[in-house]
């Protein structure tokens, strides 16, 4: 926690950063009592970096090519997050698989947003198009804790959307994205409030939580 007692977030991004924007907007609207302490990108061209800068959020670029291994790159990210004093690491469109040592450094303190209803269509970078091509009639998005196995950690929140006959992968992805922007800040708020408990791999609401 920071001196003001706010829950501190470290957000990892690689691209356009609409989920980062949703977090920043939820904070600004007073719906999420947290602050983004640091945004980390593995890509210097990520538009997400501009969104962070526009809100005065510190950013750092940690490129894969600047390090001899993915492990060293990710441990450099871990060190930056530790120095920023983050309480929770949020993967918001980060396009690398985290090294297991990074995951171990933040046990049950890393969450990810994935654009499908896990465990369906996990593991890839094109979950919306995969769901569309498969012909499912319902898809959606999942916020989950990150464990060493990709897209397989305990599920915090999910939102479902219909897949319509005249959808394209793009229209489906846009419908899913709207829900991502809703449930990612909501999941962070639940964690920040200490409103969740974990039983096995089931994430449940604490009964005494607000």
Active site residues: 114
Tell me the three state secondary structure of residue 129: helix
* Residue 115 lies near ligand GRF (rule: CB under 6 A): yes
User: Residue 15, interface with ligand GRF (CB under 6 A)?
Assistant: yes
The least CB distance from residue 20 to ligand GRF, in Å, is: 6
CA distance 152 to 147: 7
Whichever of 119 and 194 has its CB closer to ligand GRF, that residue is 119
Cβ closer to ligand GRF: 28 or 83?
A: 28
Contact 147, 89 (CB under 8 A): no
Please give the size of the binding site for ligand GRF, defined by CB under 6 A.
Answer: 13
Q: Which stretch binds ligand GRF (CB under 6 A): 15-23, 34-42, 75-83, 161-169?
A: 15-23
Our measurement of the distance from residue 35's CA atom to the centroid of its chain's CA atoms, rounded to an integer in Å, reads 15
Which residue spans within the chain are E strands per DSSP? 7-13, 34-41, 59-61, 88-91, 110-114, 138-145, 155-162, 196-199, 202-205
8 binds ligand GRF (CB under 6 A): no
DSSP assignment of 138-149? EEEEEEEE--SS
Residue 198, strand partner residues: 203
Helix (H, G, I), strand (E, B) or coil at 123: coil
- Single residue of 7, 9, 17, 156 touching ligand GRF by CB under 6 A: 17
113 near ligand GRF, rule: CB under 6 A: yes
**Applying CB under 6 A, does 117 fall inside the site for ligand GRF?**
no
* Region class of 109: left (phi > 0), else alpha (psi between -120 and 50), else beta: alpha
- Under the binding rule (CB under 6 A), the answer on residue 92 touching ligand GRF is yes
Give the per-residue contact string, 26-55, with ligand GRF (x = CB under 6 A; - = no): ----------------------x-------
Give the shortest CB-98-to-ligand GRF separation in angstroms: 13
Residues that bind ligand GRF (CB under 6 A): 15-19, 48, 92-93, 113-115, 177, 180
């Amino acid at each position: 926690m920071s001196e003001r007692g706010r829950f501190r977030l470290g957000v990892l991004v690689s691209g356009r950063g609409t989920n980062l924007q949703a977090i920043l907007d939820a904070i600004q609207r007073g719906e999420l009592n947290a602050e983004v302490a640091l945004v980390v990108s593995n890509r210097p061209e990520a538009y997400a970096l501009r969104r962070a800068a526009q809100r005065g959020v510190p950013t750092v670029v940690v490129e894969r090519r600047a390090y001899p291994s993915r492990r060293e790159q990710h441990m450099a990210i871990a060190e930056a997050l530790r120095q920023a004093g983050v309480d929770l690491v949020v993967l918001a469109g980060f396009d690398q698989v985290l090294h297991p040592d990074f995951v171990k450094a933040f046990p049950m303190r890393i969450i990810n947003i994935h654009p499908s209803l896990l465990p369906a269509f996990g593991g890839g970078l094109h979950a919306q198009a995969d769901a569309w091509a498969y012909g499912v009639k319902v898809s959606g998005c999942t916020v989950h804790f990150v464990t060493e196995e990709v897209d397989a950690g305990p599920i915090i929140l999910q939102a479902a959307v219909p897949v319509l006959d005249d959808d394209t992968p793009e229209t489906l992805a846009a419908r899913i994205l709207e829900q991502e922007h809703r449930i990612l800040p909501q999941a962070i708020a639940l964690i920040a409030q200490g409103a969740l408990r974990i039983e096995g791999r089931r994430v449940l609401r604490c009964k005494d939580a607000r």
